Amino acid sequence: MSSKTLTCFCCLALSAAFALAQEPKQISEDLTGTWHCQFESPFGLQTYHFHLVVDNAGDATLKAEVDDRDEERKVEFVDVKVDGDSIEFAEVRQFGEREFRIEYSGKLEGDELTITRSFGQRGGQDAVATRNLPKPPPKEDPAPVVDVKIDRLIKDAFEDSFLIGMAGDLPSRYSEEELKLAAEHFAAVTPENCMKPERVHPGEDRWNFEQTDALVQWAEKNDMTVHGHTLVWHAQTPNWFFEGRDPETVKRRMEEHIETLAGRYKGKLQSWDVVNEAINDGGDAETSKTENLRNSNWLQTLGPEFLTLAFKFARQADPDAVLYYNDYNIESGPKHESSMVLLSRLLADGAPIDAVGIQGHWRSGRVPFEDIEKAITDYASLGLKVSITELDVTIRGESGGQFGRRRFRNSSPPSLEDLNAQAEDYAKLFSIFKKHEDVIERVTFWGLNDRRTWRWGQHPLLFDGNNNPKPAYASIIALTDGKGDENTPDHSNNVKIEGTCLPCRDGQRQGKRARRGQLTANEVERIGQSLLARLHHAHDS
Ligand code: XIL
């Protein structure tokens, strides 16, 4: 190195060092402005668009727009502290009756801000925030593993038995393709979230009817009936309902809520989930003799009477709507016994209840078929109608319908064995539903496809993430008659399960026997096994 170059280099280094010393780093300016960041949450991918402002006095304000899987929300963070390259803040979220605090800490490294967030005991999670917008989440699930062709729509196949529905806050944020799919295959829709108290009635004097009106209009235009969900629930219900905890005030708020919401759609909705999930989980021989009501704010403020009141208010608001009590796991064990005690009391007290919703969040390989059939006949014996209101049969993960329960997420494609086992479970379920079609009003899937489901990653529905029908779809329609054309000798074109693995012809043969009404649950089980055996054979050869 020449002495001239060395001098230059030294000058540069010195001036750089000088510049650093002279201009202390404006940390807050490096951190201020907009950052984008994605977190994997138990509810799916969440994209945060943070905006940090620091005023002259050094006080920091941090806000964000958040894209959740099924909603957009605005957040204003609390306890924002900026210190050098670091920032700390917290988000307070309301889940049902409970408030949760999510802690965040961020550290700036170059042009990336690494953010760790922690949620109670559940441990931390890191994500990197950048100035650039993140890539949108993958729109597509992995390629389908089997090619299933159907040329009969499930809603038509069960037209004479019961309505086939799906859940979703249609039409907002659904693609044209998804809306077409929904309208084509389903005869009923349940709003997945937008009619819940926290969404439609966030403050005593605040109502959000934009999405609910849009849904009702869209359903009308597409010839779908709407089932309202849900008026009185312990979850997704804001605390203002219970403020002061004075029974008369809480009762008035319940009445106004039901009157305004059910009244607005009077004559337009077919039915309502009036009370959702009022019974405790689990239970034992002792609790099974009682109603075993959940210790919700409703119970605490109004006592067990709250259910009767809710049904009376709903009947007043919309006299023609079919009124439901809706719950999960009420088909089995002590919770089933408690549901019978509760429903008997409601009927004896003159609560205008018409029907029971068995939610139906089940898990492939563990569906309690016998309990389900017994529950249907038990409820019918009380003179009530039954619907399966939130059907999904997951391939992986936990069963049960508790809101906010931690779920196992995995977007890897399901195996053929898994898909066939699921198809078999769905076929057995629908053979039970069909057998009791005189009692069953509606069977609603909780979502549209394996991307539009709260059980994302567990492949629970009839369509995969790319809107292709799964073997479950074919196995269900194979149970039905071919649209009244009894004399047509061969319905074999109705159901085709194509692909290297699921032999088409067997599907047809079994479909035909099923259409003659000869398929018992055991047979359906055997079909699944024979499909599996062939599948292994196809793989081996
Ligand atoms: C779920 C929705 O699917 C989710 O999008 C939301 O985040 C939580 O609620 N029982 C019910 C439904 O009655 O309202 C719940 O829906 C699923 C369990």
Q: Walk me through the domains of the chain, giving residue ranges and CATH numbers.
A: 5-132 (2.40.128), 147-481+490-522 (3.20.20.80)
How many CB atoms neighbour CB 174 within 10 A? 17
Give the model's pLDDT for residue 405: 35
Instruction: Write down the H helix ranges in 105-173.
Output: 154-157
Ligand 1 atom closest to Cα of 233?
A: 13
Ligand 1 atom closest to Cα of 196?
A: 14
Give the model's pLDDT for residue 118: 83
pTM: 0.72
* Residue 172 CB–ligand 1 contact under 6 Å: no
* Residue 311 CB–ligand 1 contact under 6 Å: no
Give the model's pLDDT for residue 445: 98
Instruction: Give, using CA atoms, the residue closest to atom 9 of ligand 1.
Output: 403
Ligand 1 atom closest to Cα of 446?
A: 3
Instruction: Give, using CA atoms, the residue closest to atom 4 of ligand 1.
Output: 454
Helix, strand, coil percentages, rounded to 5, for the chain: 35, 25, 40
For residue 225, CA distances in Å to 110, 186, 189, 191 come to: 55, 10, 6, 11
Ligand 1 atom closest to Cα of 167?
A: 3
* Residue 193 CB–ligand 1 contact under 6 Å: yes
* Residue 425 CB–ligand 1 contact under 6 Å: no
Residue 444 CA to ligand 1 centre (angstroms): 13
By most ligand atoms within 8 Å of CB, the mutation choice from 446, 453, 456, 458 for ligand 1 is: 446
By most ligand atoms within 8 Å of CB, the mutation choice from 403, 452, 456 for ligand 1 is: 403
* Residue 97 CB–ligand 1 contact under 6 Å: no
Q: What are phi and psi of 128, to 5 degrees?
A: -105, 125
Instruction: Give, using CA atoms, the residue closest to atom 18 of ligand 1.
Output: 401
Q: Rounded to whole angstroms, how far apart are CA atoms 443 and 457?
A: 22
Give the model's pLDDT for residue 130: 84
The active-site residue out of 178, 192, 390, 424 is: 390
Q: How far is CA 282 from the centre of its chain?
A: 22
Instruction: Give, using CA atoms, the residue closest to atom 13 of ligand 1.
Output: 276
* Residue 287 CB–ligand 1 contact under 6 Å: no
Give the model's pLDDT for residue 290: 98
* Residue 228 CB–ligand 1 contact under 6 Å: no
Instruction: Give, using CA atoms, the residue closest to atom 12 of ligand 1.
Output: 192
The ranges of the chain with pLDDT < 50 are: 1-3, 5-8, 10-27, 397-410, 483-541
Q: Return the closest-CA partner of residue 355 out of 182, 227, 464, 447.
A: 227
Give the model's pLDDT for residue 7: 46
* Residue 39 CB–ligand 1 contact under 6 Å: no
Contacts of 2 (CB under 8 A, 6+ apart): none
Residue 343 gets the label, from left (phi > 0), alpha (psi -120 to 50) or beta, of: alpha
Strand partners, 116: 105, 126
How many CB atoms neighbour CB 99 within 10 A? 10
For residue 203, CA distances in Å to 14, 78, 200, 229, 242 come to: 61, 21, 9, 19, 12
Give the model's pLDDT for residue 398: 42
Residue 78 CA to ligand 1 centre (angstroms): 27
Which helix H or strand E contains 247, and what residues bound it? helix 247-264
* Residue 441 CB–ligand 1 contact under 6 Å: no
Exposed, middle or buried: residue 375 (CB in 10 Å: 0-12, 13-18, 19+)? buried
- Own/partner long-range contacts of 209-213 (Cβ < 8 Å, ≥24 apart): 209/264, 211/169, 211/172, 212/265
By most ligand atoms within 8 Å of CB, the mutation choice from 227, 407, 454, 461 for ligand 1 is: 454
Give the model's pLDDT for residue 144: 59
* Residue 327 CB–ligand 1 contact under 6 Å: no
Q: Return the closest-CA partner of residue 97 out of 308, 298, 335.
A: 298
Reply yes or no on whether 390 is catalytic: yes
